[in-house]
Chain A
Amino acid sequence: MKLVACVLLLSGFFIVLAALVVLTSLGQRSAFVGAGFGVEFLGLCLLTQAYRTHRKEHR
């Protein structure tokens, strides 16, 4: 779960980079950078959840 979360974080970053390289208009780039940020946010949520579950199991 933690590994998947880290992969999601990196994927979001590469979506942002791809948006800069491939797209040209400000609107399209903003939309894709927003999407990349969304993927990173999912990764953060998953990482947080992974540590919460880990603690519960250890208690």
Chain B
Amino acid sequence: MNLELSLFSMMLIPFAAAGLALIHQGLGRSRSAAHAMLASLCALAVSSIVFVLFGASWAGSTGAAIHSFAAGGVHWDWLGAAPFFARGLNYDASDAASLSRSLVLCLELLAVGVAAIIPLSAGADRWRLGPICLSSALLGGVIFPVFAHWVWGAGWLAQLGANFGISNFIDVGGAGVIQVVGGLAALSVAWIAGPRRGKYSEDGIPAAIPGHNIVLVLFGCLLALVGWIGLDSAASILFYGAGLQQIVGVVINALLTASAGCLAALVVTRARYHKPDASLSSNGWIAGLVAGSASCAMISAESAIVIGVIAGVLSTYLIEIFELHLRVDDPGGAVSVHALAGIWGLLALGLFGHFPEGTRGGHLLAQMVGICALLGFILPLIHGGNLLLNRWSTYRVDDDGHWHGMDVRELGAGAYPEFVIHADEFVPR
């Protein structure tokens, strides 16, 4: 296993977090821009600390201690049982097993930060900083570790083949572990926080609230590509033993899925609105990256393009369906781009993946089991946790704070104090 290459790849992952943070703040209002960036830093900081203190114990790793039970003649490995506070790690040890465990912790630590940033997009312009920290702690301490253990820590989803004779659930780059988990958290936050003030009329017709800086959004897409290449490469090496040749394929596939997703969204928006839409095209780019990360080391270049195109088209239509018909106000499109494109990516692995063993039907079934676990267990867990936290500390800012903007309300000063005049500042309330 090329551990040096995996460590180098991991160093690129913070670019994914930076890219997503820029996208979120660019798609929000200018009067909440500083709040959006600070919230990204806080989400990353809180989730990282809580993950190392508690989550890493439950996420575990292959060969580490586990909580398990026997039912139906099967041994269910459902949670890691490593010591808390990362005490099981020995940074001085020179053996390959210790080094591998440290690298897994490092990768999961960086991944949990990316997952924690995703829901911020759905709560933009109204989700308060304190509850953001609480929700990030929930994600980093409980939700992410549980599913990461099931998939990356040799949990029951990674042992479907041995226990049930189908194939193992596979999620190479974290489309499920990071993206769908983060996207489902985004859905939960959008439900709880409700739509932004002025988003829907009395008749339920949505108003367009455009992002304030599309240049930053598009720059964030480029940064995210670098981070995704690092994430997919490091996870392929550590969890699926990918070699150097496969990592070249991972890099090529990441670029192809993102490009296909962006171009598909661009063509769809050009056909529907007569001009390409920059924000939806950037969503298509990220949707392509998300969908491709499940199967990054296991698909051909043609399949990567097909996966990206479908992700780009899906994200464009789903964003509209969520906003118009389901009345979920998700300014950054996190639910469509991360949760639903991630689910498509997991399914696409079963459809297009090259597998050394097992039937395609068995692989598709295993992927469906994983998707059902995300929707049927992880979503209620996230939503139940968020509802409890919302009772303790209300997620949504009050109407006055919404009008002032999150910057002034929560931070005391705007992000652009000298340059911005808000169009509705002189309109009587």
Contact = CB atoms under 8 A, between A and B. Distances in A.
Interface of A: 6, 9-14, 16, 20-22, 24, 26, 29-30, 33-34, 36-37, 40, 43-44, 47-48, 51-52, 55-56, 59
9 contacts: A10-B376, A13-B376, A21-B72, A26-B359, A26-B365, A33-B365, A40-B372, A40-B376, A43-B376
Contact of B380 (A9, A24, A36): A9
Interface string B349-392: 00000000001011011001101110111011001100000000
A16 B365 CA distance: 10
A34 B361 CA distance: 13
Given A21-B72, A55-B195, A16 B373 contact: yes
Contacts of B191: 47, 51
Contacts of A44: 375, 379
B71 interface: yes
State the majority secondary structure of interface residues on A: helix
A13 B372 contact: yes
B361 A26 contact: yes
Contact of B372 (A33, A48, A55): A33
Contacts of B379: 9, 44
Contacts of A33: 365, 368-369, 372
B91 interface: no
A12 B194 CA distance: 27
Contacts of A43: 376
A40 B369 CA distance: 12
A33 B361 CA distance: 13
A16 B277 CA distance: 40
A24 B72 CA distance: 13
Interface in B297-318: none
A40 to B, nearest CB: 5
Closest CB pairs A-B (n = 6): A13-B376, A21-B72, A16-B372, A12-B376, A6-B380, A40-B375
B74 interface: yes
Contacts of B195: 55
Contacts of B384: 6
B164 A20 contact: yes
B372 A10 contact: no
B326 interface: yes
B375 A55 contact: no
State the majority secondary structure of interface residues on B: helix
Interface of B: 71-74, 160, 163-166, 191, 194-195, 200, 202, 204, 326-328, 359, 361-362, 364-365, 368-369, 371-373, 375-377, 379-380, 383-384
Contacts of A26: 166, 359, 361-362, 365
A13 B377 contact: yes
Contacts of B73: 21
Contacts, number: 81
A6 B362 CA distance: 28
B375 A9 contact: yes
A55 B364 CA distance: 38
A11 B384 CA distance: 16
Contacts of B204: 56
B166 A29 contact: yes
Contacts of A12: 372, 375-376
B376 A36 contact: yes
A13 B373 contact: yes
A22 B106 CA distance: 39
B328 A48 contact: yes
Given A29-B365, A36-B376, A37-B372, A21 B166 contact: no
Contact of B368 (A14, A37, A51, A52): A37
Contacts of B328: 48, 51
A30 B361 contact: yes
Nearest to B368: A33
Given A21-B73, A59-B202, 19 more contacts: A9-B377, A9-B379, A9-B380, A13-B372, A14-B376, A21-B71, A21-B72, A22-B72, A26-B166, A26-B359, A30-B364, A37-B368, A40-B372, A40-B375, A51-B191, A51-B327, A52-B326, A55-B200, A55-B327
A6 B382 CA distance: 11
